Structure 1
Amino acid sequence: MRRVCALCGRETDILIEGLCPDCYRKTHPLVRVKRDFVGIVRCPSCGAVLYRGKWVKDNKVIEKLILESLDYLGKVSSTSIESLELRYGLTTAIVRVRGTVHDLIKEYEEEAPVKVRYSEELCPRCRDMVNEKERAIVQVRSIVPINDHLRRLVIDITRKEAMKGEERSGFLRIDDAQGGLDIRLSDQGMARAIAYRIHKTLPSRVLESQSVVKGRGDKAITKLTISVVVVPVGRGSVIMYLNKPYYVLGYSQGTFRVLDLLSNETVNVRVGDLIRHGI
């Protein structure tokens, strides 16, 4: 005798709590994500991952963190992470779960999207090792709030530049800072190379300063500080400058060419003036 599903109205040979197998699956998920996101903190120096308050060197610990965020609501026979790209900020991992929510339903697969927030931080052991080695810092700041796209761009530039020479050539770590990022290095030449590459990629102003850490004369040990203030606007942007709206036509050699939207007049504005007066 065929029966009718209370939800979709289709006839079926099997009813589970008044529902056909398809509707039962839809209303009874196999897996549920318990957290808004999974935080993954990795040491950029030794590769250890922060797990339950401890730094662990285990290739499977990231998988553990993601799978522990799931609540299984049926009989699960297998799980696998199908897609995971660890990049700075928020991303999504796809977990494939195989099982069933009822004995009358054959095993099937469900996908669970898990949000992952990835960041890097030196573990205590590596921090102790590099504290004595820091000889340069590149302070990247933005005149508008820094977003994930700009943050990833700066991090990508830093990593590519650092890997051009010997492995991890002078690169120590990248720290979040108010208004931007601090890039810490043991090699002052590498700090200048990174700052120059950021300056070539983004409209910006670069300033350098040196301070003596210890010693004097020929034996003095100095620390280099490079300030890179970026103006992340480009062709097509509309900005408010000195209380007037401007349309950005282009940028070249430290100068923006902009159109005054009130007077329809084209003017040039130096990047330093935008930094000084703000937008």
Structure 2
Amino acid sequence: MRDEGEMSERVFVCPICGRRTERLIDGLCPDCYVKHHPMVEQKKAELTLKICKKCGRLGYKGSWSDTEEELLDQIRKDLKHIVKLRGEIRDIDIKIYPRQGSMQLTVTGKVHPEIQQFYQEEYEIPVKMEYTICDACLGRVSKAKRAIVQVRASNRELTQREKNILLGLLEQTASMKGKGADLSPWQVKEESGGFDLYFSTISAAKEFVNNLSHKMYFDTLETGKKVGVDSSGQEKFQVTFRLLLPGFTKGDVIKYRDRYYLVKDIDSKRVFLLDLDSYVVESVVLLKSFISQTSTVARASEIQRGIIVAVENEKVYVMDKDYKVYEVDVKKSEGIFRIEDKVGILFHEGKIILVPLQDK
């Protein structure tokens, strides 16, 4: 006959992880319960913040702050409209990373009273930045939007690298002594796939486009429309500059004249391509005629990863993540591919293409 101590020792099995545990919370072990019941549920897909292009003040929901700490106070007050909190929350730390486009929440607490110890969870909420003018500055500057600069990429969104180049030029322009405010756009909106920049003068928009052309390649389409008549009776026009970046970017695989290339790098004038047949790097001048003859075969994120398991003469054997091995004919495999090298594997039109990784 068992004594009372033996009768009280009960062991359960978690249905998710299969581990043995002395306690179940709603049918799960404590670890699995925590994993499947986060303390935070995001209500908004993203957070929209504003930066005044004239004075640098930070804005959220119509309120403007002089410091980042004041902005965080505004966000804390509105946190219940941004996320839903569960369980017993002891502390919430908020950090804003505007250039990275994110807000980080670090939450300390526990989601269920039967969980013995408090723990931390981190959440990242996307942040959309709008460069505009605060209420205080709006009355002191012209509200005219005589020119619009639209920055887009063909059949893709701008990469973070391209966004950083654009935002870096905006900061550089705004910091110019004497004329920074006159040359800066009064409003910058991050739209789907790119940016719209609003200028009060056509000349300021043209100078910005010219400065940006020294940092990245794009094709420019200029259009204009009549928007009214000024006090002297002269017609007023609004000009739109549409800047279109190529459909490919660093890390993509493209096809040009029936040959496959890895885009190693790209600047304002040239693109550096790795021929995926000869594995020789070529430098090509960026012209509309060249871009029109290219097609993007795969984005960098779409290329599968594999590892070289054998190299024999002009044959390379590569294994994918599912442990399937492929035999690939490579004319100049010696010195290019070595056993245990990590490579990209691309399947296109019945052909297997090996793509050296960018960080090799």
Do they fold alike, i.e. is TM over 0.5? yes
State yes or no: 1:44 paired with 2:51: yes
Q: How far is the alpha carbon of 1:155 from its aligned partner?
A: 4.0
How do 1:87-126 residues align onto structure 2 when only pairs under 5 Å count? 87=99, 89=101, 91=102, 93-98=104-109, 101-102=112-113, 105=116, 108-120=118-130
Contact 2:273 2:284 in 1 (8 A): yes
Contact 2:150 2:195 in 1 (8 A): yes
| CA distance in 1 between partners of 2:251 and 2:230 (Å) | 51
Tell me: CA distance 1:199–1:92, structure 2 relative to 1, closer, same or farther (3 Å).
Answer: same
Contact 2:146 2:202 in 1 (8 A): yes
Equivalent position amino acid for 2:289 in 1: D
Q: How far is the alpha carbon of 1:239 from its aligned partner?
A: 1.6
Contact 2:188 2:195 in 1 (8 A): yes
- SS of equivalent to 1:132: coil
Tell me: CA distance 1:84–1:109, structure 2 relative to 1, closer, same or farther (3 Å).
Answer: farther
| CA distance in 2 between partners of 1:10 and 1:209 (Å) | 69
Contact 1:42 1:48 in 2 (8 A): yes
- SS of equivalent to 2:93: strand
Q: 2:170 aligns with which of 127, 148, 159?
A: 159
Equivalent position amino acid for 2:76 in 1: E
Over the matched positions of the two proteins, sequence identity in percent amounts to 14
Matched with 1:142 is 153
Contact 1:238 1:245 in 2 (8 A): yes
Tell me: CA distance 1:160–1:190, structure 2 relative to 1, closer, same or farther (3 Å).
Answer: farther
CA deviations on 1:112-152 (whole Å, 9 max, x unpaired) are 414334242769979x9678322332222322412342562
State yes or no: 1:271 paired with 2:287: yes
State yes or no: 1:63 paired with 2:76: yes
| CA distance in 2 between partners of 1:158 and 1:216 (Å) | 34
Equivalent position amino acid for 1:27 in 2: Y
- SS of equivalent to 1:134: coil
Tell me: CA distance 1:201–1:274, structure 2 relative to 1, closer, same or farther (3 Å).
Answer: same
Q: 1:6 aligns with which of 1, 6, 12?
A: 12
| CA distance in 2 between partners of 1:182 and 1:18 (Å) | 50
Q: How far is the alpha carbon of 1:160 from its aligned partner?
A: 1.8
| CA distance in 1 between partners of 2:118 and 2:272 (Å) | 59
Aligned residues: 265
TM-score by length of 1: 0.66
Contact 1:258 1:269 in 2 (8 A): no
| CA distance in 1 between partners of 2:165 and 2:272 (Å) | 24
| CA distance in 1 between partners of 2:195 and 2:11 (Å) | 57
Matched with 1:132 is 143
Tell me: CA distance 1:62–1:226, structure 2 relative to 1, closer, same or farther (3 Å).
Answer: same
Q: 2:189 aligns with which of 175, 179, 189?
A: 175
- SS of equivalent to 2:176: coil
Q: 1:27 aligns with which of 2, 25, 33?
A: 33
Higher RCO (C-alpha under 8 Å, 6+ residues apart) = 1
| CA distance in 2 between partners of 1:145 and 1:233 (Å) | 8
Equivalent position amino acid for 2:96 in 1: L
Q: 2:93 aligns with which of 74, 78, 81?
A: 81
| CA distance in 2 between partners of 1:34 and 1:160 (Å) | 35
Q: How far is the alpha carbon of 1:182 from its aligned partner?
A: 1.9
Equivalent position amino acid for 2:93 in 1: I
Contact 1:246 1:261 in 2 (8 A): yes
Decide which moves more: 91-100 or 2-11: 2-11
CA deviations on 1:139-173 (whole Å, 9 max, x unpaired) are 22322412342562254134323322256553212
TM-score by length of 2: 0.54
Matched with 2:338 is none
Tell me: CA distance 1:32–1:151, structure 2 relative to 1, closer, same or farther (3 Å).
Answer: farther
- SS of equivalent to 2:39: strand
| CA distance in 2 between partners of 1:191 and 1:35 (Å) | 38
Equivalent position amino acid for 1:229 in 2: L
| CA distance in 2 between partners of 1:186 and 1:192 (Å) | 11
| CA distance in 2 between partners of 1:227 and 1:85 (Å) | 29
